[in-house]
Amino acid sequence: MAEPKGLKKPVKLKADLAAFLGATELPRTAITQKLWDYIKSNKLQTRTENGQPENAGKFIVADAKLLTVFKNTNATSKSGKVTDLRNLKEGETINMMQMASVVGDNIE
């Protein structure tokens, strides 16, 4: 059987993400799925930036548990877009498109 490659290859998680997910290594696909499962089950989506949780929409509301993971994110995309969540506060939101940066900055 071939070894998993790309997004299906297990990666080592940094401490805060490992504590959040309860694992030290997971494929990127599983990391993203587990984060989304948590967001949806806790109704942490909203249609408006910094809006109240309403379980729908493109913004993710940071609760205390997600904040431990989000606060480790400070990335610059290839296009030059900066995602700096180090000063994010509980109740504030991130755009769902920033999840790739969150995952990328929380793995080794």
Written in H, E and C, the secondary structure of 47-100 is CCCCCCCCCCCCEEECCHHHHHHHCCCEEECCCCCEEECCCCCCCCEEEHHHHH
Residuewise pLDDT in 10s, the chain (108 residues):
677 777 789 999 999 999 999 999 999 999 999 999 999 999 999 998 888 777 788 999 999 999 999 999 999 888 888 999 999 999 999 999 999 999 999 999
Closest listed residue to residue 70, CA positions, set 91, 49, 84: 84
Q: Delineate the domains of the chain, giving CATH numbers in brackets.
A: 9-105 (1.10.245.10)
